Amino acid sequence: MVLKTRTYHDPLHGAITLDRADPVEALLVELIDTSVFQRLRRIRQLGPASLTFHGAESSRFTHSLGVMAIARRAFDRLAAIYPELGDYRAAVLCAALLHDIGHGPFSHTAEEVFGSHHEHWTAQILELSAEVRGLLDGFSADLRPEIHQIYQHQHPVPCVWQLVSSQLDCDRIDYLMRDSYFTGASYGQLDLDRIILALDYDPASQQLIVAKKGLGAIEHYLVVRYFMYAQIYNHPKNLVATWVLEKAINQAKKLLSAGSLKADATMAAWLTHAVDELPLDRYLAQDDYVLHYHLQQWQTHSDPILADLCQRFVNRQLLKATDISHYPYLRQMEILSAAQCQAYGLVADTDIYVGLRHIRNRGYALYQQGIKLKTPDGLTEISQLSPLVQTLIQPCHRTWLIHPAELPVAEIL
């Protein structure tokens, strides 16, 4: 009996036990053991956010296990009530486990910097990774197509993809809980039990819906999401770290094409090609270790801009962000010009060291079919029932002036 189970002790979900006597769970164990999945250990969940919230050091590996664990709880409870869902267990759990397998270095940060898309690579891995494809096809010929359908929101039973990827999916639930736990932002704590109990299935439309008495739990989840974005994910120091990284990579691209940069084959390929068009092996060879290794090496490069940007990133001597959201657009442009004038002579390139970053933050959006509640009058969009959610739809905009800490920007505001 002991040999037939594999247990992961998770700080959030406790013991996640997979039972290898169950064919679906045996498959999950084998998927976890592939080198492609193990690679997620080398990709930080929140990219450079640990420079701001020092506890945010956990990986996509950890998060992916958590999403699968939540999906199993939610799915198994619904399937016990609605046995017609039972056939989709393998697809839901594999899709939950593998949803982030295509992520690159620093997760979303690299996507911004390199213009890549992890969803593209997740799909590619299903097709082209011999390990992963072999396991899925060995289980059932239908499984791989079904997982694709889930990721493309085209599965004939909407509930199946909604559990994995929607406004109320197991992915979001896990990352909010996990990022709250690791950053110590206790306002991010969710009431997972109440959320799971709030989830229901509507046989008529085959959608994942929310039971009316679960409204409060879901309102709370959406508010927490808003707070986590406002306070953690969009923290100005994160914007600045991404800015510095982006400028460093752009500078590295220039130097490489000019023949004056050392980079290994993986890094060189990433700097010279559209990343989403690379061969799979080249894509997978990149991760936090490879990227960060190069940044460390380039700290002593002869190009002063590249060297400086890499030192700033590696040693956390970042630029500063000053909130100028309360000024009108034209005034913001003037401030930018004035700051670049101030910076002239102080920095090697004012466009690199001084700039604007605009972010838009909202807790809820109506795309992806939103979230439906079961009311006596049928299914109703949650934002029509909750003034709080209605408020969260309004985006909150902020504009930051990014500049070196020593620039006296107070003078021009």
57 binds a copy of itself (CB under 8 A): yes
Q: How far is the CB of 394 from a copy of itself (least distance, A)?
A: 6
Q: How far is the CB of 42 from a copy of itself (least distance, A)?
A: 8
Q: How far is the CB of 226 from a copy of itself (least distance, A)?
A: 8
272 binds a copy of itself (CB under 8 A): no
DSSP of 100-136: TTT--TTTHHHHHHH---HHHHHHHHHHH-HHHHHHH
User: Is 159:75 a contact under the CB 8 Å cutoff?
Assistant: no
Site for a copy of itself in 326-385 (CB under 8 A): 326, 376
DSSP of 231-260: IIIT-HHHHHHHHHHHHHHHHHHHHHHTT-
Residue 102 or 236: the one with the smaller Cβ distance to a copy of itself is 236
Q: Which stretch binds a copy of itself (CB under 8 A): 96-104, 215-223, 239-247, 338-346?
A: 215-223
Q: Which stretch binds a copy of itself (CB under 8 A): 83-91, 105-113, 253-261, 284-292?
A: 284-292
88 binds a copy of itself (CB under 8 A): no
Q: Using N-to-C axis directions, what is the helix angle for 288-298 and 265-272, rounded to 10°? A: 90
> Up-side HSE of residue 64: CA atoms within 13 Å toward CB?
27
Q: Extract the runs of DSSP E, i.e. beta strands, from 266-395.
A: 320-323, 355-361, 372-375, 378-381
Site for a copy of itself in 155-214 (CB under 8 A): 181-187, 189-194, 196-197, 200, 211, 213
> Of the candidates 84, 154, 274, 289, which one interacts with a copy of itself according to CB under 8 A?
289
User: Is 169:200 a contact under the CB 8 Å cutoff?
Assistant: no
Site for a copy of itself in 231-260 (CB under 8 A): 231
Residue 91 or 170: the one with the smaller Cβ distance to a copy of itself is 170
281 binds a copy of itself (CB under 8 A): no
> Of the candidates 31, 46, 49, 62, which one interacts with a copy of itself according to CB under 8 A?
62
Residue 82 or 369: the one with the smaller Cβ distance to a copy of itself is 82
User: Is 345:291 a contact under the CB 8 Å cutoff?
Assistant: no
> Of the candidates 26, 73, 133, 227, which one interacts with a copy of itself according to CB under 8 A?
227
> Of the candidates 133, 153, 220, 237, which one interacts with a copy of itself according to CB under 8 A?
220
Q: How far is the CB of 376 from a copy of itself (least distance, A)?
A: 8
> Of the candidates 152, 272, 296, 384, which one interacts with a copy of itself according to CB under 8 A?
296
Say how far apart CA 398 and CA 413 lie, in whole Å. Answer: 16
Region class of 191: left (phi > 0), else alpha (psi between -120 and 50), else beta: beta
Number of chain positions touching a copy of itself (CB under 8 A): 78
Residue 340 or 361: the one with the smaller Cβ distance to a copy of itself is 361
Residue 293 or 344: the one with the smaller Cβ distance to a copy of itself is 293
> Up-side HSE of residue 106: CA atoms within 13 Å toward CB?
23
Report the amino acid identity of residue 95: A
Q: How far is the CB of 7 from a copy of itself (least distance, A)?
A: 7
SS3 137: helix
Say how far apart CA 171 and CA 168 lie, in whole Å. Answer: 8
> Of the candidates 79, 268, 314, 379, which one interacts with a copy of itself according to CB under 8 A?
314
User: Is 245:311 a contact under the CB 8 Å cutoff?
Assistant: no
Backbone CA torsion sign across 208, 176, 318, 360: positive
Q: How far is the CB of 55 from a copy of itself (least distance, A)?
A: 5
Residue 217 or 352: the one with the smaller Cβ distance to a copy of itself is 217
Say how far apart CA 58 and CA 46 lie, in whole Å. Answer: 8
User: Is 102:124 a contact under the CB 8 Å cutoff?
Assistant: yes
Residue 38 or 337: the one with the smaller Cβ distance to a copy of itself is 38
